[in-house]
Amino acid sequence: MFSSTIPGTIQRQTWSFFRSIGILCLLPTLFSLGFGVQAAPLPAPPQLSAESYLLVDFTSGAVLAEKNPDQRMEPASLTKMMTAYIVAQELARGNISSSDPVIISEEAQAMPGSRMFVEAGTTATVDELLRGLIVQSGNDASVALAEHIGASEAGFVDIMNRVAAKLGMNHSNYMNASGLPDDNHYTTASDLAIIARAIIRDFPELYTIYSQLEYTYNNITQKNRNSLLGRDASVDGMKTGHTNAAGYCLVASAKRENMRLISIILGTASDKTRIAESQRLLNYGFRFFRTEQIYAAGELVSEAQIWMGKQSSIPLGVAEDLFVTLPRDAFETLHSQIEVSDYIKAPARLGQELGRSVLTADSQVVGEVPLLALKKVEEGNILVRMKHSIMRYFR
């Protein structure tokens, strides 16, 4: 556990990211600091005809545009993102394999709505069902997979809600694996951003299925309902949803150069509208924002003087990669103010918090991150300690 206190008086140094030591100039982009900075005038986000929407940067988690992001909404088939995530977890843990035969139940075959057309009493592999779930949005595939993993759909729903809580989806509740309407089955745009980021981050091999344009099962070929895939070459997933109560919904992800954005559009009037509004939102984000890596985990950020130790200095860095998403012009004014204690005493342990980096742009604080010891420094011998004690006394 890292220390959360910085002893002594703070000593400040300020460096420009673009005019100082090479390390800072080369360091790569921000983790989960959703903030904004005003540099040059930034155009307002487009006003969309959706009940709720959200645009986030995948890497940093920064929110670039939003409307009612925490409003409770019916997820419809966006539910299947959580279903697929749990299937991927079970595959990764070795509890199931993609070639496992899954017996199709009467309940699975009888599911209404979108289907992949499995037949009761037959078997389909986990891989076939997973593609039927994601590409064809099969409600029957959802139930078949849920029964295979949770013994029953109800048992699987318990897993869904536990995983949602662990991911921090605090405004979601699942009642089924497919997204059929239920008064107690709900989510929010903010929570959908969490599960979307988790899929791309934790299971990139699963995410590739979301870009599959069509899938054939039982001699029936169905196209991916996310028609944004064929309209925008940068879009490579994710999932559509629709019920009368939910309206037309779409979670989409696109990557242009080194930046990936996730858009969530909920409650539009038609498929055409959800596609057009998703496109407008993504274009806005890519046009006016940029994501850059500021610090890389374990790389040197600064050095601090250490007393009473075998070494006279100690290297400082960050525990995780640090990324920042800002309006494009704001990067020209981005600075790091390094703050470290003026008295660090050995022994110092690896990972001990000894300072912080405060990031500013246009004279506004846009975030800060603890600076940790990148190596341990042991206490020096008695002669070193005596020498340093005398130096400290006269200083």
Q: Which residues are catalytic?
A: 77, 80, 137
Check if the beta carbon of residue 320 is closer than 8 Å to that of residue 31.
Answer: yes
Radius of gyration (C-alpha) of the chain in whole angstroms: 26
Residues 50, 68: Cα–Cα separation, whole Å: 10
Residue 352 backbone phi and psi in degrees, to 5: -70, 135
Residues 103, 236: Cα–Cα separation, whole Å: 31
Residues 200, 193: Cα–Cα separation, whole Å: 11
Q: Prior bond to 347 cis, omega within 30?
A: yes
Alpha helices in 117-181 (DSSP H): 126-134, 139-150, 153-167
CB neighbourhood size of 151 (10 A): 10
CA 331, chain centre distance (Å): 22
CB neighbourhood size of 267 (10 A): 20
Residues 390, 104: Cα–Cα separation, whole Å: 80
DSSP letters, 202-224, are: H-HHHHGGGG--EEEETTEEEE-
Residues 77, 246: Cα–Cα separation, whole Å: 10
Residues 54, 266: Cα–Cα separation, whole Å: 9
Residues 341, 338: Cα–Cα separation, whole Å: 10
Contacts of 393 (CB under 8 A, 6+ apart): none
Q: Of 189, 193, 246, 164, which is closest to residue 69 (Cα–Cα)?
A: 189
Residues 373, 370: Cα–Cα separation, whole Å: 10
Residues 22, 17: Cα–Cα separation, whole Å: 9
Helix, strand, coil percent content, the chain, rounded in steps of 5: 30, 30, 40
